[in-house]
Amino acid sequence: MEAAMRNRIPRPHYQQLLTRYRDTEFVKVLTGVRRCGKSTLLDLFIEDLHAQGVPEENVFRKRFDEFGLPLNPTAEDLQDEIAAALDCADPSHMFYVALDEIQMVSEWERVVRGLHTRSGVDVYITGSNAYLLSSDLATLLAGRYVELDVYPLSFCEYLEFSSRIRGKSDAALNTLFADYLRYGGMPSIFALKEPREEDIARELTGIFNSVIVNDVAQRFQIRDYALLEKLVAYVFSTSGNLFSVKSIANYLKSAGAKASYETIDGYLRALEQALVLHSALQTGVQGKQLLRPLRKYYPVDTGLRNLPGGFSGRDVGFQLENVVYLELIRRGFNVSVGTLEKGEVDFVAQKRDVRHYLQVVDSLVDTATYERELKPLRMLEDAFPRIILTLDCLRVGTTEEGIHIVNLIDWLRDQSEAL
């Protein structure tokens, strides 16, 4: 228990959001891929409550993914437990309800709705799939909820964890980034003492299997598990490439799998619902509309992405893209792939009425690469910022055309309100 407490490193961004919405009428819904740290965030939040004087009897905490709990918990059982806890609570304080992996309870929406209508009760729920808010809950709550998307560690958080738990400082910045790129940012990696690569692989394999089996195959009643595994291996290994569902199905067919368009489309949707896979839709810029836009798929963690290939370290460029994509959505941007008449912009990041165009490349030392990355940005006619993110420091600055060249690691560490 003490070791677990020591490994609870603060994640200020999420904790501030929870504090901002504390004691409001909104149900707080934390969604994110399994094992990304949602439960720990609630633990930290509850510790803060107790530190501020909230009695223990005024917090009801339940984790439905714990070993030993009934396999099919019901809404009635949960209602009875909460009612008993409310009877023992101090009425002079707010009563807090924190429910982990609530989707495992049948008809859980009724419980949450009932709690929401009761005064003096503040509700927090977590879930490992996007189904939470595509279910009846959104209708039942009539907009009285706030969704907090939780992701594996950002690079800034990774540095903080490395410093606090393993005593590694920013002095080894490039080495730490290489590790982050290769092994990802799943918080549970930091529970491993001086981990070897095989230890990390074992931990990530457990997470991967749990997500694929519980949150995808069982949740969506997928029968052809072998096909699902082949699809995941292919999409993960080729993330960052533009695809259509048809092209993926055709590839798997050529590899001997029975893969119809409808089946692959359903499996991809299931992976996105389980929050283990995200996608960026191709969009025309400069007013060009696409009749059949393609997509780029990105796993939620580069460690999970690299796991099937044994952390080989190949295709660094696509790994960097993956990291940048995740950082952009973590910062609240809607992200698409920009298509020009002759060329492509890696990412178009939009937040409200502000847009940013981004290229991602490992190195700009080679002149041909430098010109290739600049070319699509030069073709853009609007005045929104144009940025190239690179691991180099040699060409960092602003070109005559106003294109900003930024060191990627510096950009990841910059947590200002700007991009």
- What's 93's domain CATH number? 3.40.50.300
In a shared domain, residues 77 and 131: yes
How far is residue 317's CA from residue 244's CA, in Å, rounded to a whole number?
A: 21
Based on the fold, state whether residues 277 and 237 are members of the same structural domain.
Answer: yes
Residues 197 and 344 placed together within one structural domain of the fold: yes
Residue 308 covered by a domain: yes
Q: Is residue 378 part of a domain?
A: yes
110 and 204 share one domain: no
- Statement to judge: residues 319 and 351 lie in one domain: yes
Domains in the chain: how many in total? 2
pLDDT tens per residue across span 133-192? 766 677 778 778 999 999 999 999 999 888 876 666 666 888 999 999 999 999 999 888
Residue 155 token pair? 């690079």
Please give the single-letter amino acid code of residue 120.
Answer: G
**C-beta separation of 359 from 403 below 8 A:** no
Q: Are residues 211 and 346 in the same domain?
A: yes
- Whether residue 418 lies inside any domain: the answer is no
Task: Kindly tell me if the per-residue pLDDT of 289 is higher than 80.
Answer: no
Q: What are phi and psi of 62, to 5 degrees?
A: -145, 130
Instruction: Please report which residue ranges of 9-107 form alpha helices under DSSP H.
Output: 12-21, 38-51, 75-87
Model's pTM, two decimal places?
A: 0.93
149, 169, 186: which is the final residue of a domain?
A: 149
172 inside domain: yes
Same domain, 144 and 197: no
Residue-range definition of the domain harbouring residue 174: 156-413
419 lies in some domain = no
Q: Which of 133, 149, 165 is the last residue of a domain?
A: 149
**Is 60 exceeded by the pLDDT of residue 343?**
yes
> Of 149, 165, 181, which residue is a domain's last?
149
- Kindly state whether residue 231 falls inside one of the protein's structural domains: yes
Share of the chain above pLDDT 70, in %: 93
